Amino acid sequence: MTINPPLPEHAAHVSDAIAAPIEPDAPPKSMWRLGLQVFVANRLAIIGLVVVVLFLLFCFVGPLVHHTEQLRTDLAQANQPPSSAHILGTDSVGYDEFGRLMVGGQSSLEIGMAAAVMATLVGTLWGAIAGYLGGAVDAVMMRVVDTLLAIPGLFLLLLLVAIFTPSTGLLIVVIAFGAWLTPARLVRGETLSLRTREYVQAARMMGGGNRRAILKHITPNAIGTIVVNATFQVADAILIVASLSFLGLGVPPPHADWGNMLSDGTAFTQNGYWWMILPPGLAIVLVVVAFNFLGDALRDAFEVRLRRR
Amino acid sequence: MSPVLSVDDLHTEIAVNDGAVHAVDGVSFTVNRGELLGLVGESGCGKTMTALSIMRLLPGGGRITGGSVVLGDVDLTALSERDVRAVRGKRIGMVFQDPMTSLNPTIPIGRQVAEPLKLHTDLAGRSLTDRVTEMLNLVGLPQPARRLSAYPHELSGGMRQRVMIARALVCDPELLIADEPTTALDVTIQQQILELIDDLRTRLGMAVILVTHDLGVIAGRADRVAVMYAGRIVETTETHRLFGNPRHPYTEALFEALPENAAGTGERLYSIPGMPPDLVNPPVGCRFAARCRYAEDRCRAEHPPLRGEVAGHDYACFLPVGSAESGPITSLANPRRAVVTESGARHAAADAGTPLLSVTGLVKDFPVTAGAVLRRHVGAVSAVADVSFSVTGGETFGLVGESGCGKTTIGRLVVGMERLDAGTIWIDGTNVATLRGKARREHQRETHLIFQDAYAALNPRMRVGAIVAEPLAIHGIGNRASRLSRVRDVLAEVGLPSGAIQRYPHEFSGGQRQRIGLARALALQPKLIVADEPVSALDVSIQAQILNLMSDLQQRHGLTYVFISHDLSVVRYLSTTIGVMYLGKLVEIGPAGAVYGRPRHPYTRGLIDTIPVADPWARRTGDDGVRGELPSAIRPPSGCRFRTRCPLAQDICAEQEPPLRSFGMDGHQAACHFPLAVSTDPAADRFAPNASA
């Protein structure tokens, strides 16, 4: 070994480096791309996505194509079965049921998605801060969550809606107020395990502060939990809007949502007016199931991005 | 005599998204009664898949696609799942790596050991309990009758592995497969478990397959060795022949990559370039050709058969090491074999500087609490108890000891990740222990910690560019462009292309991830780098690459390292000064050569004796090494903490704590009432330079 000719200073080191090349030709695959591949491979996810997109188009672009009267009632046209003039017939005050489904869907989807986003944002921050700081801060913050969870959700909603006049904005806030507790608890649980990860400790070791740890290291790594929960939140919020409206506490007339359409329709169950019950009911079920499919698929997509090769 | 097990041309595939991994590709071997076959190879070489194929316990997507596994006279590959179940646990026992996850935490160990008996025999009641007790006694579990109702968490790691062995052997199997049985255990416990397996196979006359990545483990125990690479056996022969006369270039390279072979000389380690091939589309020809320093065109075109010149020593190579075709001439001409002696520069730095890091009277206790709500303090774990040492700028201080000895805590205290309870830490003239808040954070620029698991220390959702730039961002240094150019520089310095910036950590191999960790450490140009087991998770050939890189960086930037490891040969290779820790105490400290060559503390001596050395001729007697297990640090023994395991302990050891005493002028100190005399036995000096040849 000693008779080897001496090499230039870094020669050996350079050979080590050549030794371990990452494939130079392959373009860097972004994490989102990898996740997308898994997502696309999941058939249920695609079905879910298509259903959600179709409903969004139906509700927000539909009224531009299919003009109907949704402000003034027309009792002469009330309770019409489906015909060429009214594809899905009319309801008890003469609104076109098909057009109403679009307008009602707008409120349902808007409220559902906005409430879910709000609840997720607040819940995530609350949970991440409580979990990361721990100790007394955690104890106080989580007791707040526990206390709110102890109040029956529907009771709280009914109370708030009874105090204030229902409007789309109010419904969003009210539903989010009841819904942020779940993501808060989930994210806190996730944070408790994430904060012991070495990369979080590494950031602290380098002199990084709490804000950096929470925003750069903890939250991005809890994104799987957060996004999956958010999709379930959308589904839940749509159902809550529907149940509130069903109880007569939804958006006030002449606005509509799928819940109060269903509620109106149930008065005519005995008359066999199926066109007032089946369309809004099916719409709720389809959208909720579609969002749940999306949630499941996103969970898989986020998992795979973390898998070791 | 017909072999207990003969595996013939075994092929196993595991289905993955884009094809099938040919994990085992034409493996053949036999094991005889009473024989211990060592199956060695780096991670991903197919050794565990071979073991699982024998048991027919392949993971999802895995299937045996060809060949036979004949146990006695039954071909296991042809049996139905039902019939295989009658073989598993009855005729073949298996021991897994991690005894904690292999035992069910909710079932007492007595019942877990009895489980195979209930499945495969008619024993019941009294005779069942008797058999279990007998077995636990055989594997050396103290007071087995009383421990039958103990739960796994009540036992230490070593004891749990004994229970696992008892469960594997309770039905008197013909074959025991031990898959990395000691990798999760401490070095002192490792030796005890290996001895037990060795002893049991002679007493029970069974065949054993010992699967491991550690050549040292094989050297002392195995009768025959099969070296695996990329799903194939590349060399197989009896142990002494393999270690004395390795013929396959891969085997030879593995030996040269071992740090103990270069200990004390400061020579660069030989590191096998590159990484093992992708087994989804394995290369044609010899699979090692791409990394082989002797490879010719023929190697890349044709697959060399496994055969040898003499009976009983087979290798799959056209140009075996030591033959006329390869030999020293080829190796001289090959620039990849870069061995540069650089010991001069390294030691010169050591005696020049003043202490960069100076630690005095360091104490750290972790409170032990009880109760979920009120958290009463019921005691304290004494993690670090009055430790003092200093490290000269530009040198490497190695800190060794078993897990739980407090070495990691010291590293974390030095970089400011833990608050100390007493003592001072002077780094470059500042007592960082007194700094608080912003000043402390500011000072953290001077130090950096490198973690053992490089993957866990890199945020999986950040690109490498952002990861390496993070220390710069935290301390608000430079703008986007200047940070990017700094990232490029440090990546180049650790041997990564700048294309790495856009990638995520999971796209890199283990060694490359540790390089990223090093790049991040260098970004702020710290003076002191604490490396906590930086190579323990890496394969031996990759480990050599990282060790070489670390010493290159040290020379180029005058870095000071605190190198923490349980692996004494790695510490020996890199360190100028070594501290040996035991249960929160520094028991011996001194120049690396002195501590290894002339250990004064019985614990140091014992640790050195328990290291598995990749040398089958090394002296191996049962009495060497450290016996027993680490006592609890909540109530550490009085006086000398090592006395409970010390062969020399007397009354005074329990009464008085021995102070550190000097031996010689070179700063060699040990804390012992009965220090060892300097050994004149040349065999004991095997860590001294040139003794390992």
Q: What is the ipTM of this complex?
A: 0.72
Residues of chain A found within 8 Å of residue B471, distances taken between Cβ atoms: 206-207
pLDDT of A17 above 60: no
Number of domains composing chain A: 1
pLDDT value of position A124: 92
Q: Of all helices (H) and strands (E), which one includes residue A266?
A: helix A258-266
pLDDT value of position B326: 44
CB contact under 8 A, A22 and B271: no
**Touching check for B534 and chain A: CB below 8 Å?**
no
In a domain, residue A83? The reply is: no
A 179-208 near B (Cβ less than 8 A): 197-199, 201-208
According to DSSP, the residues that pair with B66 across neighbouring strands are B11
For residue B233, what are the CA distances in angstroms to B9, B63, B280, B314?
A: 10, 19, 18, 9
d(CA A152, CA A156): 6
Q: How far is CA A1 from the centre of its chain?
A: 65
pLDDT of B209 above 90: yes
CB contact under 8 A, A305 and B442: no
Q: Which amino acid is at B133?
A: T
A 214-243 near B (Cβ less than 8 A): 216-217, 220-221, 223
CB contact under 8 A, A198 and B508: no
Q: Out of A13, A29, A305, whose CB is closest to B495?
A: A13
Q: Nearest-CA distance from A179 to chain B in Å? A: 27
CA nearest B457 in A: which residue? A199
**Touching check for A31 and chain B: CB below 8 Å?**
yes
- Percent of chain A whose predicted confidence (pLDDT) is above 70: 85
d(CA B193, CA B389): 34
A206-244: string of b/e by CB count within 10 Å (b at 16+)? bbbeeebbbebbbbebbbbbbbbbbbbbbbbbbbbbbbb
CB contact under 8 A, B273 and A216: no
Q: What is the mean pLDDT of chain A?
A: 77
d(CA B124, CA B281): 52
Q: Nearest-CA distance from A237 to chain B in Å? A: 30
Q: Give chain B's end-to-end CA distance (angstroms, integer).
A: 37
CATH of the domain at A204: 1.10.3720.10
Of B320, B328, B327, B330, which is closest to residue B288 (Cα–Cα)? B320
CA nearest A221 in B: which residue? B461
CA nearest A4 in B: which residue? B332
pLDDT of B476 above 90: no
For residue B54, what are the CA distances in angstroms to B11, B228, B363?
A: 11, 16, 51
**Touching check for B674 and chain A: CB below 8 Å?**
no
Residues of chain B found within 8 Å of residue A221, distances taken between Cβ atoms: 459-461
For residue range B337-349, what is the model confidence (pLDDT) as tens digits? 334 333 433 444 4
In a domain, residue A100? The reply is: yes
**Touching check for A16 and chain B: CB below 8 Å?**
yes
Q: Nearest-CA distance from A211 to chain B in Å? A: 11
Residues of chain B found within 8 Å of residue A198, distances taken between Cβ atoms: 451, 453, 456-457
In a domain, residue A164? The reply is: yes
Own/partner pairs, A159-162, CB within 8 angstroms, 24+ separation: A161/A244, A161/A249, A162/A249
What is the pLDDT confidence band of residue B175, given thresholds at 50, 70 and 90? very high
CB contact under 8 A, B340 and A12: yes
CB contact under 8 A, B506 and A197: no
CA nearest B474 in A: which residue? A208
Q: Nearest-CA distance from B205 to chain A in Å? A: 41
> Where in the sequence is the domain holding A117, given as residue range(s)?
46-59+90-306
pLDDT value of position B145: 85
Among the listed ranges A4-13, A237-246, B354-363, B394-403, which one has the minimum average pLDDT value? A4-13
CATH topology of domain B5-105+167-243: Rossmann fold (3.40.50)
Q: Nearest-CA distance from A156 to chain B in Å? A: 30
The larger pLDDT score, comparing residue A259 to residue B210, is at B210
B 344-403 near A (Cβ less than 8 A): none
Tell me the domain boundaries of chain B.
5-105+167-243, 106-166
Beta-sheet pairing, B422-427 with B430-431: antiparallel
**Touching check for A25 and chain B: CB below 8 Å?**
no
B 263-322 near A (Cβ less than 8 A): 267-268, 271-275, 291
Residues of chain A found within 8 Å of residue B417, distances taken between Cβ atoms: 201, 204-205
pLDDT of B688 above 50: no
Query: What mean pLDDT comes out for the span B126-132?
Result: 89
CB contact under 8 A, B475 and A207: yes
Residues of chain B found within 8 Å of residue A22, distances taken between Cβ atoms: 496-497, 499-500, 503, 507-508, 512
Q: How many CB atoms lie within 10 A of CB B289?
A: 24
According to DSSP, the residues that pair with B130 across neighbouring strands are none
Q: Out of B335, B338, B474, whose CB is closest to A206?
A: B474
Q: What is the mean pLDDT of chain B?
A: 82
The larger pLDDT score, comparing residue B448 to residue B260, is at B448
Q: Which residues contact A186 (CB under 8 A, 6 or more apart)?
A: A123, A127, A225, A226, A229
**Touching check for A17 and chain B: CB below 8 Å?**
yes
Q: Of all helices (H) and strands (E), which one includes residue B520?
A: helix B510-522
The larger pLDDT score, comparing residue A273 to residue A5, is at A273
Q: Give chain A's end-to-end CA distance (angstroms, integer).
A: 37
DSSP string, B275-317: -PPPSSSPPSS-TTGGG-SS--HHHHHSPPPSB-SSTTEEE--
Please give the biggest Cα pair distance in chain A. Answer: 108
**Touching check for A304 and chain B: CB below 8 Å?**
no
Residues of chain B found within 8 Å of residue A2, distances taken between Cβ atoms: 341
B448 touches A206 (CB < 8 A): yes
CB contact under 8 A, A24 and B451: no
> Chain A to chain B, count of Cβ pairs less than 8 Å apart?
139
User: Cβ-count burial of B636 within 10 angstroms (0-12 exposed, 13-18 middle, 19+ buried)?
Assistant: middle
The larger pLDDT score, comparing residue B298 to residue A92, is at B298
pLDDT of B333 above 60: no
pLDDT of B99 above 80: no
pLDDT of B685 above 50: no
Query: What mean pLDDT comes out for the span B526-533?
Result: 90
Residues of chain B found within 8 Å of residue A3, distances taken between Cβ atoms: 328, 332
CA nearest A304 in B: which residue? B506
The larger pLDDT score, comparing residue A25 to residue A204, is at A204
